[in-house]
Amino acid sequence: MTQEEIKRHRVESVLKEIIPEALGTLDDVRINHLVVTDVVCSKGRSDAKVYLDKSFLNEKEQGEALRQLRVVSGYISNHCKQSEGWFKAPRFTFEFDAQPEYQSKMEDLFKQIASRKGSDEETGENIDES
């Protein structure tokens, strides 16, 4: 891992902590309780994509939240600069994270495979032994 990658990962880690703090200081109930699942910075750390948990929001609420986050992104950027003493902060883009849904589907598939394998062993069927 290069020195630049280490710095980028460090900034991502700090942003995962600071962004929820900044959101919590806002008076807007649509966004102040959003959970940040991940932050991915560009190579130069000038842009950052913030992934949010969407499990408690429907489609309409997600759209409203993203719209409001675009409005307050400057405030969040200033909050990050002030709390960390940075000269500049990345430009934020916000997106809802689909990864938990994918993980859940994968876990369900593995459970189905395990249950099928278990039922095949009980019936004495051979499963591809190559």
| Digit-coded pLDDT (tens) for 26-79 | 988 888 888 899 999 988 888 999 999 887 888 898 899 999 999 999 999 999
CA end-to-end span of the chain, whole Å? 39
- Surface-to-core class of residue 69, CB atoms within 10 Å of its CB (0-12 exposed, 13-18 middle, 19+ buried): buried
Instruction: Evaluate whether 51 touches 99 at the Cβ level (below 8 Å).
Output: yes
Amino acid sitting at position 98: A
How do beta strands 36-41 and 91-96 pair?
unpaired
Number of H helices, E strands in the chain: 3, 3
- How many angstroms separate the CA atoms of 69 and 82, rounded? 19
Q: Is the pTM of this model over 0.95?
A: no
**In whole numbers, what is the pLDDT of the chain averaged over residues?**
85
Instruction: Evaluate whether 23 touches 34 at the Cβ level (below 8 Å).
Output: yes
Higher pLDDT, 30 or 87: 87
